[in-house]
Amino acid sequence: MSKKKIVIIEDEPDILEVLSYNLKREGFDVFTATNGTLGLSLAEKVSPDLLLLDLMLPGLDGIEICSSIKNNPATQSTLIIMVTAKGEESDIVLGLGVGADDYITKPFSPKELVARVKAVLRRGQLVDTVPTTEKVRVGDLAIDTSKYEVTIGGKEVRLTATEFRLLHYLASNPGRVFSREQLLSRAMGDDVVVVDRNIDVHIRGIRKKMDMDPPLIETIRGVGYRLRDLA
C-alpha cells in the first residue's frame, strides 16, 4: 500500500515541527509550508490525501486556501482539517461552509491529532465508496431508507419526514461536524417549507424520540451538530 500524503500549512515553526514529526512517525508522507501562498501551490502540486490547514497564515489565509482547493476539480477530493485557536468558532463555521472536513482546536496532543487524521481519512474512504446507501448503521442505530424506518437496538423510532432526512444525513457522515446552514442546504434541500427551517427544533425532536443518554447527536457549541462516531 502506498503511503498516504499529508500537506501541513502552518506558520508557527514549533507546531509545524510537532505535527510533522508525529505524522511521519505514523508512516505518512509529509510535506510542509509556512505561508499560505506557498502552501496552496504545494497542495496543488502534491495533491495530498489530507491537508492540515492553519487558519491564520501570512499570504492567503486558511479559509481562502480551503475554498480554492475545494473549488478546484483537480484537488477537491483532498480532505481538509482546519487547525484553529480557541475562540475562532465563527471561522470554523466559515471553514465548514467552504468545504473543510473537520477541525481541531489548539492546544491538542499529538495523540489526539493522529486519531483525528486517521478518522477523517477513514471517513473520506467511506464517502468515496458509498455515496448514498439505503441502509446506514451507527452503533445501535439503524436507518433503512427503502422502508423509511429508524430503529435503535431493533426498536422502532417514529420520526417526521424532516427529522428522518436530517438524521439520515448526519448518520451517513458520522463524526463529521456540520453547521446549521450546511444541514439546511444539504440535508433538507430546497423542498422544505419555510416554517420547517429551524434545525434546532428538529434536532431536539430527534433526541427526544431517540431517548439516548448521552444523545447520539452532539451539539458543537458555536458551530453546529455532529452524530457521534461509534466505529
Neighbours of 188 (CB within 10 A): 17
Q: How far apart are CA 174 and CA 227, in angstroms?
A: 5
Q: Are strands 102-105 and 29-33 parallel, antiparallel or unpaired?
A: unpaired
- Determine the distance from the C-alpha atom of residue 8 to the mean position of all C-alpha atoms in its chain, rounded to a whole number: 17
- With CB atoms as reference, the residue minimizing the distance to Ca ion is 56
Shortest reach from residue 1's CB to Ca ion, in Å: 33
Minimum Å distance from CB 8 to Ca ion? 12
Cβ nearer to Ca ion, comparing 42 with 56: 56
Q: Which residues bind Ca ion (CB under 5 A)?
A: 11, 54, 56
CB of 124 to Ca ion, least distance (A): 25
54/101 with CB nearer Ca ion: 54
Nearer to Ca ion, 11 or 229 (CB): 11
Determine the Cα–Cα distance for residues 135 and 24; give it in Å rounded to an integer. 37
**Which three three-digit cell numbers place residue 199?**
434545525
Beta bridge partners of 142: 137, 151
Q: Nearest approach, Cβ of 36 to Ca ion (angstroms)?
A: 10
Residue 54 or 163: which CB sits closer to Ca ion? 54
